[in-house]
């Protein structure tokens, strides 16, 4: 069964802290994505990666960076957390062959920045 | 710009049929996907249409008209567990498997 896991379900951080969100998938998917989800705004893409060590900016990359050292793991880094980064963060993965239209999501991390 | 439009909220009665519409404006188009998300949960894939017409999967069907840049998700025999948000998404073909997402439609089901 397809599985995407995220390191934390809930996280509380202080303004200025460096925050790491980790995502692991066990499906050998090439593509991995980080989204944030805010009420009324749907899913907005922060970064995605289509291969190890490869990354591309999404729609809202400012204030974020990513790391993909291994195929199964994609990390999102908030260099200096700010209150406007309080949000739900969703990781997803998809293959590049076959059902590439389908993205498989992790359970999400609800981040509160105080 | 690229955008997907869907109603913010739809209300229906248990046992009824409901249709959630999605219109899109994108620079390219490979197909239209639908995802379901329950409160507090992760989005899960429901359906995908690349060609015009209706695709049926149990109580759920999805329709696409490429000429009208329009699609819909049809839910039949509504059950309370169908209360969720529904998102349409388009892969515009230009980039590396990115999806462009609608803002979501919250489906409220009344007994």
Q: Each residue of B11-67: pLDDT tens digit?
A: 999 999 999 999 999 888 888 999 999 998 999 999 999 999 999 989 999 999 999
Mean pLDDT of A61-66: 96
Residues A103 and A96: their CA atoms lie apart, in Å, by 11
pLDDT of amino acid A2:
66
Q: Contact B44/A105, CB-based, under 8 Å?
A: yes
Contact with chain B for residue A107, Cβ under 8 A: yes
- Please give the span between the terminal C-alpha atoms of chain A, in angstroms, as a whole number: 37
Distant-in-sequence, close-in-space partners of A72: CB < 8 Å, separation ≥ 6: A24, A25, A26, A28
Query: Higher pLDDT residue, A42 or A87?
Result: A87
Of A42, A100, A104, the CB nearest to B102: A42
pLDDT of amino acid A41:
83
Q: Residue A99 — pLDDT band, cuts 50, 70, 90?
A: low
């Amino acid at each position: 069964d397809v599985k995407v896991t995220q390191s934390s379900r809930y996280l509380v951080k202080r303004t200025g802290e460096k925050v790491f969100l980790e995502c692991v998938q066990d499906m050998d998917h090439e593509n991995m994505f980080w989204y944030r989800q805010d009420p009324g705004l749907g899913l907005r893409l922060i970064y995605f990666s289509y291969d190890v060590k490869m990354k591309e900016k999404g729609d809202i990359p400012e204030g974020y960076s990513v790391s993909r050292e291994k195929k199964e793991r994609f990390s999102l880094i908030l260099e200096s957390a700010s209150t406007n980064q309080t949000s739900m963060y969703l990781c997803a993965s998809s293959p590049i062959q076959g059902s590439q239209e389908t993205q498989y999501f992790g359970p999400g991390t609800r981040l509160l920045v105080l | 710009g690229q955008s997907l439009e869907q109603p913010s909220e739809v209300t229906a009665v248990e046992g009824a049929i409901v249709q959630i519409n999605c219109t899109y404006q994108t620079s390219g188009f490979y197909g239209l996907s639908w995802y379901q998300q329950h409160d507090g949960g992760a989005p899960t894939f429901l359906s995908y249409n690349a060609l015009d017409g209706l695709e049926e999967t149990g109580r759920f069907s999805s329709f696409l008209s490429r000429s009208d840049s329009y699609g819909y998700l049809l839910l039949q025999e509504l059950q309370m567990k169908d209360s969720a948000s529904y998102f349409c998404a388009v892969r515009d073909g230009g980039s590396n498997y990115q999806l462009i997402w609608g803002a979501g439609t919250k489906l409220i089901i009344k007994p």
